[in-house]
């Protein structure tokens, strides 16, 4: 991006008014805009564009990179934006990229894709499988990036439909690194009115979407605990203080936080997924390490769980004559606790209108909240945001495995759907929001 273009965007962002919240009347599809989603999907399904999006996805899949290490992925994104003539800001939060399509004037709306892979070995036999040992795109972020680039191409080819500016947010480090928080702290969404994000899912049919207003995904946090006793011979346990016994009691007691302390209507989960202790059959170890996650749909519940997890671990260890230390990674992880993902209710109506116009009413599903977490929630804490699931199951093809599996695969037929939905949600949002910027005050700012 040229320096002069970037300066102009910064000036516009500085002068704009605060976030616009759309009323339901503005979000209806009865204003002559209902043809946009089908037009964009038809364009996205063109053979040339499909081949291009698939090619992008495969390049990214072959070269998975972990959080804040997505340098080659970021380079590929910038090269493609350059080819399209789309200006961008880089670097943002180490490897992030933010592109701009449209008039360069308000209103502003953002669409987001995460870029990072997971630290796991790919076990799929695939011509374009990972070339980086111990790293794999096992959560679909390669598809998310290629779909956002596809949306950029759709929007660039339909500039006449854009009554404002779309920000293309390519974000690093979603997988536990808090990349969304870093992007937000960098100011990329200043004066942006709304943001949309999606995630591919293997259990919903291709050409369908699912979401809900309000809480969609849980907030989450991590914990580790070291329980220390006194090691010794397994034949004479009375001379030892057994940390394995203490840890076992801790794990059982932690489950009572949900079953006996939480409101049954307030979904919570505490999972101990790590237990490390001892290395011999006949030796009681000096210490045991356990670790896991806790999840809930409100910050209040997360705070309460965090407090009680520490109290239970230390208290139960003391009952068994052991000592315990608890670490919530507050000094190590960029974001130790992720907030819940809560969808804006007005944007839910907007999403349903756009998705129904594109896919048909029977393809737009309501879903129950899930206990997984997503750092898209940080954007939603700052501005209205909406997150949805994009199905990719094809019952005539291979059975798709769940995300975070070494056998996870992408049904590449999903790619044009995601690209067209991104573009349609953004374009239609701008059409609805643009009339609110026609006061003399905003016109004066535009002239500046």
The per-residue pLDDT for range 269-303, each reduced to its tens digit, is 999 999 999 999 999 999 999 999 999 999 999 99
E strand or H helix at 294, and its extent? strand 287-296
pLDDT for the residue 439 = 53
Q: Is residue 422 part of an annotated ligand binding site?
A: no
User: 8-17, 248-257, 278-287, 323-332: which range is least confident on average?
Assistant: 8-17
Supply the pLDDT for residue 16: 42
Give the separation between CA 322 and CA 172, rounded to whole angstroms: 41
Q: For residue 332, say whether it is annotated as part of any ligand binding site.
A: no
Q: Is the peptide bond before 191 cis (omega within 30 degrees of 0)?
A: no
Sort 123 into a burial class: Cβ within 10 Å, 0-12 / 13-18 / 19+: middle
| Range with the poorest average pLDDT among 31-40, 240-249, 352-361 | 31-40
Could you give the CA distance from residue 65 to residue 6 in angstroms, rounded to a whole number?
A: 28
Tens digits of residue pLDDT in 90-143:
999 999 999 999 999 999 999 999 999 999 999 999 999 999 999 999 999 999
What is the average per-residue pLDDT within 147-153?
98
pLDDT at 440 over 60: no
Which tens digits make up the pLDDT trace of 376-394?
A: 999 999 999 999 999 999 9
Residues 251, 257, 259, CA angle at the centre, nearest 5°? Answer: 100
Classify domain 219-327 at the CATH class level: alpha beta
Per the structure block, which two tokens stand in for 352?
């349903």
- What band does 22 get if pLDDT is binned at 50, 70 and 90? low
Per-residue confidence (pLDDT) for residue 437, from 0 to 100: 77
Distance CA(170)–CA(114), nearest Å, equals: 6
- The beta strands (E) that lie in 33-103 are given as 88-92, 96-102
CA distance 261 to 304: 10
Which pLDDT score is estimated for 438?
61
Residues 6+ apart with CB under 8 A from 89: 1, 6, 9, 97, 98, 188
> Domain limits of the chain?
3-217+340-447, 219-327
For the segment 240-260, the average pLDDT, to the nearest whole number, is 98
Q: Under a CB-based contact definition with an 8 Å cutoff, are residues 227 and 324 in contact? A: yes
Mean per-residue pLDDT, 247-253: 98
Position 237 scores a pLDDT of 97
pLDDT band at 334 (very low <50, low <70, confident <90, very high): confident
Share of the chain above pLDDT 90, in %: 87
Helix (H, G, I), strand (E, B) or coil at 213: coil
pLDDT value of residue 374: 97
* Under 8 Å between Cβ of 354 and 29: yes
Which residue is it, tokens 């000036």?
11
pLDDT at 21 (0 to 100): 52
Q: Which of 404, 446, 417 is nearest to 140 (CA)?
A: 404
The DSSP bridge partners found for residue 99 are: 88, 168
The structure's pTM equals 0.89
Rg of the chain on CA atoms, in Å: 24
Inter-helix orientation angle 35-44/47-62, to 10°:
70
Residue 348 assigned ligand-binding role: no
Q: Average pLDDT, whole number, for the chain?
A: 92
Known binding residue 139? Answer is yes
The crossing angle, in degrees rounded to 10, of helices 71-84 and 47-62 is 160
Q: Is 14 annotated as a binding residue?
A: no
CATH class of residue range 3-217+340-447:
alpha beta
């Amino acid at each position: 991006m040229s320096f002069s273009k970037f300066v102009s965007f910064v000036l516009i962002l500085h002068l704009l008014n605060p976030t616009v919240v759309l009323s339901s009347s503005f979000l209806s599809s009865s204003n002559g805009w209902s043809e946009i989603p089908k037009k964009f999907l038809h364009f996205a399904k063109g053979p040339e564009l499909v081949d291009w999006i698939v090619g992008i996805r495969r390049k990214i899949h072959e070269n998975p990179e972990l959080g804040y290490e997505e340098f080659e992925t970021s380079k590929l994104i910038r090269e493609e934006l350059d080819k399209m003539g789309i200006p961008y800001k880089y670097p943002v939060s180490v490897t992030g990229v933010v592109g701009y399509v449209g008039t360069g004037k308000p209103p502003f709306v953002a669409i987001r894709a995460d870029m990072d892979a997971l630290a796991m070995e790919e076990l799929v036999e695939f011509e374009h499988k990972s070339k980086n040992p111990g790293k794999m795109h096992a959560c679909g972020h390669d598809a998310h990036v290629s779909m956002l680039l596809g949306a950029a191409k759709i929007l660039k080819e339909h500039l006449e439909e854009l009554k404002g500016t779309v920000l293309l947010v390519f974000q690093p480090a979603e997988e536990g690194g808090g990349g969304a928080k870093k992007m937000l702290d960098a100011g990329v969404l200043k004066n942006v009115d709304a943001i949309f994000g999606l995630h591919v899912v293997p259990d919903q049919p291709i050409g369908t979407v699912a979401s809900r207003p309000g809480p969609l995904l849980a907030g989450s946090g991590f914990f580790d605990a070291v329980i220390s006793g006194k090691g010794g011979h397994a034949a004479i346990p009375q001379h030892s203080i057994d940390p394995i016994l203490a840890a076992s009691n801790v794990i059982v007691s932690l489950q009572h936080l949900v079953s006996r302390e939480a409101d049954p209507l307030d979904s919570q989960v505490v999972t101990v997924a790590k237990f490390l202790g001892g290395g011999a059959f006949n030796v009681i170890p000096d210490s045991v390490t356990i670790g896991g996650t806790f999840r809930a749909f409100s910050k209040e519940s997360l705070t309460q769980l965090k407090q009680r997890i520490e109290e239970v671990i230390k208290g139960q260890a003391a009952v068994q004559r052991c000592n315990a230390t608890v670490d919530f990674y507050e000094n190590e992880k960029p974001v130790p606790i992720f907030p819940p993902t809560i969808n804006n209710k007005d944007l839910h109506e907007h999403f349903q209108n756009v998705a129904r116009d594109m896919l048909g009413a029977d393809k737009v599903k309501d879903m129950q909240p899930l206990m997984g977490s997503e750092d898209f929630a940080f954007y939603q804490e700052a501005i209205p945001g909406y997150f949805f699931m994009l199905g990719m199951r094809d019952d005539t093809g291979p059975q798709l495995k769940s995300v975070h599996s070494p056998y996870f695969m992408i049904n590449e037929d999903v790619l044009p759907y995601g690209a067209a939905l991104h573009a349609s949600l953004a374009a239609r949002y701008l059409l609805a929001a643009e009339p609110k910027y026609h006061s003399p005050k905003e016109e004066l700012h535009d002239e500046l």
